[in-house]
Amino acid sequence: MPFYEKGPVRINYEEAGSGFPLLLIAGGGLNSVMAGLPRSPFNPIEEFKGEYRCVYADLRNANAGQSSGPLEVDRPWDSHTDDHLGLMDHLRIDKFMVLGFCIGGPFIWNLIKRAPDRVVAAVPAQPVGFRPEMPTVLYDGSMTGWGPELVKRRPDITMEMVEKYLTRMYRTNPDFVFTVTRDFVRKCQTPVLILPDDVPAHPYAVAMECAMLAPKAEVSIYPWKEPVSRIPLAVRQIRSFLRAHRPPASASA
């Protein structure tokens, strides 16, 4: 399995298929790892490797993953976006599309903000968002489900650091999709296809608000995961969306 390294950061990644580059981001919050992709509502590697160069990585410091690096307590979201963009640079990929589950939603918005000319189209599936009636659900989930295991593996990291990191990530001005403002989404010229969910960490209202704000947004049927027989309809919509926005072969990276 290849690694991309930059200073103290070491990112374990894989590739499958060929064609226009498609970055895949697994769900699982801060435990987002490549192994999670096949366990998604559909396996994006299997669905898209026939048409795209699929690139995917373990999130920096995800338990059960092999990516590691500093815990950047002042810039948690951006540190991961650094890794996403750095990996694409490492692979000499300029323009790409991105499909992300759950925490992939905020990551995608941050990617579009930081690299609007590189991200050709994006698919946030069951995206994470801030739910006012459960304001600490993401912080609490990571404080119990990610932090303790990380500090066990990494003696250089303390729970105090984890607490600061998560506070910055999820409790400092928590709102909307965490990484960008409504005003950014309102002006975003990147085509996005949003597949809403409605579990505590994936509020339907935020997903639909994004879809209604973004001038080039499309949205899936909802619910699209239940009954499971609906999932192929959503996958076909993603396929059409990606094909429609994929640059002509001559213009690809």
- Give the footprint of other proteins on this chain (CB under 8 A): 191, 193, 211-212, 216-222, 229-230, 233, 236-237, 239-241, 243-245
**Nearest alpha carbon to residue 107 among 94, 120, 123, 93:** 123
**Spatial separation of the C-alpha atoms in residues 187 and 150, rounded to whole Å:** 38
Q: Is the CB of 108 or the CB of 217 nearer to other proteins? A: 217
Residue 233: CB minimum distance to other proteins, A: 5
Q: Is the CB of 45 or the CB of 211 nearer to other proteins? A: 211
Q: Is the CB of 30 or the CB of 97 nearer to other proteins? A: 97
Q: Is the CB of 184 or the CB of 224 nearer to other proteins? A: 224
DSSP state of 154: -
**Spatial separation of the C-alpha atoms in residues 168 and 171, rounded to whole Å:** 6
Question: Who contacts 125 (Cβ-Cβ below 8 Å, separation ≥6)?
Answer: 40, 41, 99, 100, 101, 102, 104, 105, 195, 197, 238
Output the CA angle 14-91-114, nearest 5 degrees.
Answer: 100
**Spatial separation of the C-alpha atoms in residues 165 and 160, rounded to whole Å:** 9
DSSP labels, 187-227:
H--S-EEEB---BTTB-HHHHHHHHHHSTTEEE--SS-SSS
Q: Is the CB of 59 or the CB of 210 nearer to other proteins? A: 210
Output the CA angle 139-88-248, nearest 5 degrees.
Answer: 120
Strands 20-25 vs 52-57: parallel, antiparallel or unpaired: parallel
Q: Is the CB of 123 or the CB of 169 nearer to other proteins? A: 123
Q: Is the CB of 87 or the CB of 123 nearer to other proteins? A: 123
64: left (phi over 0), alpha (psi -120 to 50) or beta: left
The residue with tokens 């920096």 is 60
DSSP state of 127: -
Residue 253: CB minimum distance to other proteins, A: 18
